[in-house]
Amino acid sequence: MNMFLNPDGFVQPSEPNEQVSIRKSEKSSSVEEVNESDDEVFPRLAGDVIASIEETTDALEAAFKGDKNLSVKLIKYAERKIPMIMGGKNDGRLMPEDVLGEAVERILEGKRKWKKNRIPKIEQLIMMVIVSLIRIEADKILDIENPLYNFLEAGETEQKKNKNGSKKRRIIPLNYADREGKASEDTIIDTELYKADKKKFEDEFDFESYDKEELIEQLESELEEDENAFFVLIEILEGNKSNIDIAEKLGIEVKDVENARKRIKRKALKLKAK
């Protein structure tokens, strides 16, 4: 199903004879080619309330019509996330407006289900799918760039795969074992983070002054299954300092925001300490 943004900003199915590519060129790999499992990215838990396609469509239409600038906001969000997650590896492969269109299309088709009890607002689901699609594309590139990775040398007993059967991306370890034969947890990412910031971490974590993109990316990945913390983090990064404002915007209690901040800080300090 191809999609287009109408004047109201709502994504709707295009005419059958209208071909809309979500990529910049045919030479680039396409996020449409990825057939990842919905549950793999957003695991289903007991008690999840799944919205019907009709409920999801109505919510999407209401969101885009209720905020005429929603498309612009989401495109800017994707525009910021692409270089943050992919670094210099994008090179025109992904365009933010295409990622948005693909994210909404997958939600409308039911490939990404709306778990209303965990994600109260449909806008939040769109943002999470945008991040997921960008990260999937980044993983595909790393698969290509790390062809010499050997899972046996890395201490794995078998080559791990995703639920869809594709090879799971792995970062090449710098040292897979120390002199005593003990497995090392240091990876390229750990080492680069250490080089970027060797200072000891403080008790408090200042998100506004600390702008290391690798750390933010890791935080988002760590918090993907903690919806409240994930979107509280997004609000913090966008400069929203008020717990009351954040709670009102996300449709949660102020106490939930305070607890989410604590979980975010613990994750951040742990990651920064590596």
Closest among 67, 79, 76 to 121, alpha carbons compared: 67
Higher pLDDT, 60 or 208: 60
What whole-number distance in Å separates Cα of residue 231 and Cα of residue 85? 17
| Tally of helices (H runs) and strands (E runs) in the chain | 10, 2
Enter the DSSP assignment of 173. B
The rounded mean pLDDT for the chain is: 67
Q: Is the pTM of this model over 0.85?
A: no
What whole-number distance in Å separates Cα of residue 29 and Cα of residue 142? 13
Whether the predicted pLDDT of 96 surpasses 90: yes
**Is the separation of the CB atoms in 76 and 96 below 8 Å?**
yes
Instruction: Give the per-residue pLDDT at 62.
Output: 93
Query: Could you give the percent of the chain with pLDDT greater than 70?
Result: 55
Whether the predicted pLDDT of 197 surpasses 70: no
| Ramachandran category for residue 2: left, alpha or beta (phi over 0 → left; psi -120 to 50 → alpha) | beta
Beta bridge partners of 161: 167
Instruction: Give the per-residue pLDDT at 46.
Output: 61
